[in-house]
Homo-oligomer: A and B are copies of this chain.
């Protein structure tokens, strides 16, 4: 075992002081090219690697961003994670990750650890998390940013979210334009109510019967059952808006395979999130697409911004409804 090499060993080999070595590794310090070169050479020879932990200890911050993710399998989160990771590592920051099956529960147990690492900031990407967790974090004096695909009311925190009400309204509008009249709405429990209120609000304001609403737990199985129920009624809906693409696809399968409905013509289906598959010919699904890149960009800005000038605020990023075959009446 070649004994751990530290600043000390390098300094000796290079015949300089510890401080010199340190400076050689810190951009923007006064050090002559000559010594820097000497140091670097010695360092290379010894296989020296500065210890970030020690540096962090002094600096008081770790260069680490804590990320709490609801569900890494959710396509949106996966994409976001990828983008985040890329941009953040460009900025020399790193991501300490946390997944929270049940955000409410894990909150107190494990996020505590996160805070102990003196993360520079905490990014919460969870569909629904206890405000207790949020509170907890802010007490830790760590800036918290909440990122969500759906709007959410979280007072006193920086949030980056989708447009909520507006989106629901936009979708209802599109459906009406296409000539659908009996709308229905398939949601998950605990999700944002803003989407719903926009959707239903607009529909009823136009004199339509209030859209029927079903709440569904497990994405696949629940949606299948719900779709069957919805479509078995004597006066079945002629358009269903599902709060994520998975549900929408399940609905399409049921409508197509079990009820023999022609998607688009006999039944309009709208999804949410614009997952990779949505554009495949098999689904050709009309769905709301989040502007991931701009969202991430905003988040990066916030994350890298001086905490002093960060004020509680809600940043809403608008996406676009991708109109495809699943809502074409022709």
What residues of chain A have their CB less than 8 Å away from a CB belonging to chain B?
4, 47, 49-54, 56-57, 60, 62, 64, 67, 71-73, 75, 78-79, 81-82, 85-86, 89, 92, 94-99, 101, 110, 112-118, 139-140, 220, 249-250, 253, 257, 276-277, 280-282
A95 touches which of B51, B75, B97, B118 (Cβ 8 Å): B97
Is there an interface contact between A51 and B280, defined as CB atoms closer than 8 Å? no
CA distance A56 to B117 in the complex (A): 10
The list of the 7 closest CB pairs from A to B, nearest first, reads A85-B99, A52-B116, A73-B78, A72-B78, A97-B97, A53-B57, A95-B97
Instruction: Tell me the complex Cα distance, A140–B79, Å.
Output: 30
In the bound complex, do residue B52 and residue A117 qualify as a contact, i.e. CB atoms below 8 Å apart? yes
- Give the Cβ gap from A271 to chain B, nearest Cβ, in Å: 14
- Besides A64-B96, A73-B78, A253-B281, 19 new A-B residue pairs in contact (Cβ under 8 A), listed by A number: A49-B140, A51-B57, A52-B113, A52-B116, A53-B118, A72-B72, A72-B78, A73-B82, A78-B78, A85-B98, A86-B99, A89-B110, A94-B98, A94-B113, A94-B117, A96-B97, A220-B280, A249-B280, A253-B280
Residues of B close to A67: CB separation below 8 A: 97
Given contacts A82-B72, A86-B99, contact A53 B49 (CB under 8 A): no
Whether A89 lies near B73 (C-beta < 8 A) is no
Q: Which residue of B lies closest to A106 (CB)?
A: B89
Taking CB atoms, residues of chain B closer than 8 Å to A71 are 82
Residues on the B chain within 8 Å of A57, using CB? 51, 53-54, 57
Residue of B nearest to A73 (CB): B78
**In the bound complex, do residue B118 and residue A52 qualify as a contact, i.e. CB atoms below 8 Å apart?**
yes
How far, in angstroms, from A72 to B140 measured CA to CA in the complex?
Answer: 30
Using CB atoms, name the residue of chain B closest to A219. Answer: B276
Report how far A97 CA is from B113 CA in the complex, Å: 16
In whole Å, how far is A242's beta carbon from the nearest beta carbon of chain B?
Answer: 15
Which residue of B is nearest A80, CB measured?
B72
Determine how close the nearest CB of chain B comes to the CB of A106; give it in whole angstroms: 8
Complex contacts, A94 vs chain B, CB 8 Å? 96-98, 113-114, 117
Which residue of chain B lies nearest to A277 when distances are taken between CB atoms in the complex? B277
Given contacts A94-B96, A139-B47, A281-B253, contact A81 B89 (CB under 8 A): no
Q: Which of A64, A78, A79, A82 has the most CB of B within 10 A?
A: A78
Contact of A113 among B47, B89, B101, B115 (CB under 8 A): B89
Contact A89 B98 (CB under 8 A): yes
Residue of B nearest to A66 (CB): B94
Cβ-defined partner of A75 (8 Å) among B51, B56, B73, B86: B73
